[in-house]
Structure 1
């Protein structure tokens, strides 16, 4: 692992709750990992993954890993939010406002937030607005 300050840390947060249609998230993550490994700049990135994330896991993963780039893959439900499981395995939505409030605490750390989920424009807009206002 390169200890250079120019190394970018990427954190993939994956969620596919039982109540939602099955997604092949492992394939998506494998392709990202493979693309990074094949890149001539592969030593400039560290990739970490958190699977079956619950709302509380997002904050913990950010604090533990301190990523520059966040990549969420899973389901979105428009204004209801991103689809995650709660502690009991029930479907829980995380709204754009909740994400924006969390992410504003790390605004100087994050360079990019990617959301690969259907109907997630609302969450992306909320994150962008929070970043602009801070």
Structure 2
């Protein structure tokens, strides 16, 4: 697939796999008639090319915005992926009621700044493909009740420079990475033309080490990320990684469990224990994979994403 600056790949993937070309043409004719004359008929080209041309035309016309996804949601009201893709592309949820959509910037526009959770996703084209859009959706949905306490910022198809720039720009308290990891102690991020680029954990740690306010917690939901413990915990209060290979199913289950419990107000250690225990129900069990490693002198029981809920 050709690449354009900030091409909304998640939207392309959604339409390619979830919407028949004839249905997409009908939708565009109804809502974006000016785009249709620029497109070939769905039967004239490969499905992938038709969908790519449609997304590019929408993007060039400035239509990839909140209104587009609101129309998608009205058109496909029972489609669970619309909201996930909207958040992935826009960086906020346009379908929240009352206009309570977070901004993309590092702080809150109100009087009370919120800590930032920076969600980074990467799956190079030459690696096995992962359901990262679903992972983003799970995180978004579980944290919706606590948006007053944490702002979620997204980076999609990140390369090494993107990772470093987003960390420097947003100064996150929490970082979550979803994607692939190498046995050699690296994050597999996106390089030129979609190829794999290896970002070493020690290089990431040195970058974080120059920050006056480094992140409090980094969650590396990818294979062999336990190798990140030693370099990153020099500067980060707690690092969660995986000891070995982790399946897509296990990664999704762990994300769901961890952020659901953090949204309930549990501290990081207790939320981690719940999320890890969930993996024991998989076949085969995977609860031996996650590991939580604190920095010397730091206590993960003091890290919370939301206030603890009162008990009776």
> Could you state the TM-score of these two structures normalised by the residue count of structure 2?
0.39
Match of 2:224 in 1: 119
- Decide whether the 8 Å contact of 2:202 with 2:232 is kept in 1: yes
Report the RMSD for the aligned CA atoms in angstroms. 1.9
Q: What is the CA–CA distance in structure 2 between the aligned matches of 1:124 and 1:20, rounded to whole Å?
A: 24
Give, in angstroms, the shift of residue 107 of structure 1. 5.7
Match of 1:20 in 2: 127
Greater mean deviation of Cα atoms: 71-80 or 47-56? 71-80
Alignment of 1:89-100 (within 5 A): 89-100=194-205
- Say whether residues 1:32 and 2:144 are aligned partners: no
Q: Alignment partner for residue 208 of structure 2, among 83, 96, 103? A: 103
Give, in angstroms, the shift of residue 85 of structure 1. 1.9
Match of 1:70 in 2: 175
Alignment of 1:50-89 (within 5 A): 50-89=155-194
> Greater helix percent: which structure?
2
Unaligned segments of structure 2, at least 5 residues: 1-101, 103-107, 237-294, 297-312
Q: What is the CA–CA distance in structure 2 between the aligned matches of 1:107 and 1:19, rounded to whole Å?
A: 36
Q: What is the CA–CA distance in structure 2 between the aligned matches of 1:107 and 1:51, rounded to whole Å?
A: 26
Which secondary structure does the structure 2 equivalent of 1:73 belong to?
strand
After TM superposition, the runs of 4+ consecutive aligned structure 1 residues lying more than 4 A away are: 130-133
- Decide whether the 8 Å contact of 2:185 with 2:225 is kept in 1: no
- Decide whether the 8 Å contact of 1:99 with 1:123 is kept in 2: no
> Could you state the TM-score of these two structures normalised by the residue count of structure 1?
0.86
Instruction: Specify which structure has the bigger relative contact order, considering alpha-carbon pairs within 8 angstroms and separated by 6 or more residues.
Output: 1
Match of 2:65 in 1: none
Q: What is the CA–CA distance in structure 2 between the aligned matches of 1:121 and 1:24, rounded to whole Å?
A: 22
Give, in angstroms, the shift of residue 109 of structure 1. 3.5
Q: What is the CA–CA distance in structure 1 between the aligned matches of 2:126 and 2:228, rounded to whole Å?
A: 21
- CA radius of gyration, larger in: 2
